[in-house]
Structure 1
């Protein structure tokens, strides 16, 4: 028997309620020291305090805003550059041969491995942080575009060409729309990859940002502040993913209906 959609939501809610109860019990009975795992009440009170007083003299909303600007600007740049290159690489083998091996080489390298080089090349300011996040977001979108182009039904292309469509028309009216579901999947993956890199991006020469706040708090064993930062990033990440899924449903409304 298949579960209804609302039943899945109920399971999700119950899962989180159970996790919160376990967290509360573990801290209540001091199974884990509070310095390692603060109680839910402590995390909530710390969040309220940070919202009122900020962290290190900087308002919490400003930390959050700076992190979001770094993240979203890097993802936007990745979308603008990776989608055209990925689509062209998927169609033209010469372009694919030039760029794919380079991107495949960079893709598995941990961000911290080349962050120092980025600082030497583009400076210690905001540019190096955005570039690091950009590199993390670029590959998933690029690869998703290539995958989307390769999945296009050749019958659609041949039908369009037989009706007199030019290469440009085939690209924009057949290939690009067909690849959109994969492109959105790549964008969602890219946001996740950039998110996992944001703390690393704010480790060096930063004085604000949620990632920096987490790193700075860890130096002084402020686990409650760390939890606040982690929860903020987690909730924001879920929100961004749901927003992208909503946009995908609006734009790629035909996906899954063939």
Structure 2
């Protein structure tokens, strides 16, 4: 027998240390870097314009943009206050985006669940999707006149394609095992679509909405070329005719600001509706 003590012989083996999970990166890093980037760009803009690296005709200094903002707010540029321009542009973009969402999501669901619907809609969408809005803008004017209808429909067509195609892609990515399990439990076709397919497609639907909203804002200037009385795009176009670069830059910054706000809102909606995304 061994000469080891009984306690030493019966002592359990030391437990192996569990590998530590890597700590999650702080979520505050991205906003800090983004804020620093914006401030650096603003600082470079101010320095370049004040030193004289760039002439005011090409890029006015920040204070000129603020002065143009004050003129636009008081309605000294073209007779309409800035609030009217913002209101009309928001109504056009939001109305067109809402209509594109109402039409695009069902169209995408139909293409993802029906081969007949896919055969009908897919070639039409893929044909006009690469076309720039200015290419079919004359047709919108000829068919629907120069009123608000042609402007809204132009933005609707621009937003519709990404929403419909993203929805179709989301439907096709739904798990076949989950669909078969739901059918085995007696779920109807409508129940499978509602409780299995739609939740699985929701992340890509939201991505399509974000892309569609961005495309809608980029189409706004083209839409407001059609005899618009007010709007941010119309304000920018009129200012460009008179070489008012300060007003042009101001309008671009406002359009970018509103587009960014809507993008942030859709990202927050995505976190609420699909909190599981990216956590698998």
- Report the CA distance between 1:2 and its aligned residue: 6.9
Q: For residue 79 of structure 2, what is the aligned residue in structure 1? A: 57
CA distance in 1, matches of 2:203, 2:91: 26
CA distance in 1, matches of 2:29, 2:188: 49
CA distance in 2, matches of 1:150, 1:179: 8
- Over the aligned positions, Cα root-mean-square deviation in angstroms equals 1.3
CA distance in 2, matches of 1:112, 1:130: 14
The question of 1:209 aligning with 2:231 is answered yes
5 Å-filtered alignment, 1:31-110, equals 31-110=53-132
Flag structure 2 segments of 5+ consecutive residues without an equivalent: 1-22
- Report the CA distance between 1:75 and its aligned residue: 0.6
- Report the CA distance between 1:54 and its aligned residue: 4.9
CA distance in 1, matches of 2:121, 2:54: 50
- Report the CA distance between 1:207 and its aligned residue: 2.0
Q: For residue 19 of structure 2, what is the aligned residue in structure 1? A: none
CA distance in 1, matches of 2:133, 2:172: 29
CA distance in 1, matches of 2:76, 2:199: 46
The question of 1:26 aligning with 2:48 is answered yes
The question of 1:188 aligning with 2:210 is answered yes
Flag structure 1 segments of 5+ consecutive residues without an equivalent: none
- Report the CA distance between 1:30 and its aligned residue: 1.4
Computing the radius of gyration from Cα coordinates, the structure with the larger value is: 2
Is residue 71–residue 77 contact of structure 2 (8 Å, CA) maintained in 1? Answer: no
Secondary structure at 2:28 match in 1: helix
Q: For residue 161 of structure 1, what is the aligned residue in structure 2? A: 183
- Report the CA distance between 1:203 and its aligned residue: 1.2
- Answer with 25-34 or 75-84: which moved more: 25-34
Greater helix share, structure number: 1
Runs of 4+ in structure 1 deviating by more than 3 angstroms, as ranges, are none
* CA-to-aligned-CA distance 1:218-249 (integer Å, 9 cap, x gap): 00000111111111111100100111111121
Secondary structure at 1:38 match in 2: coil
Question: Normalising by structure 2, what TM-score?
Answer: 0.89
Choose from 138, 154, 161 the match for 1:132.
Answer: 154
Question: Normalising by structure 1, what TM-score?
Answer: 0.97
Is residue 137–residue 190 contact of structure 1 (8 Å, CA) maintained in 2? Answer: yes
CA distance in 2, matches of 1:8, 1:191: 23
- Report the CA distance between 1:168 and its aligned residue: 0.9
Is residue 54–residue 60 contact of structure 1 (8 Å, CA) maintained in 2? Answer: no
- Answer with 7-16 or 141-150: which moved more: 7-16
- Report the CA distance between 1:256 and its aligned residue: 2.9
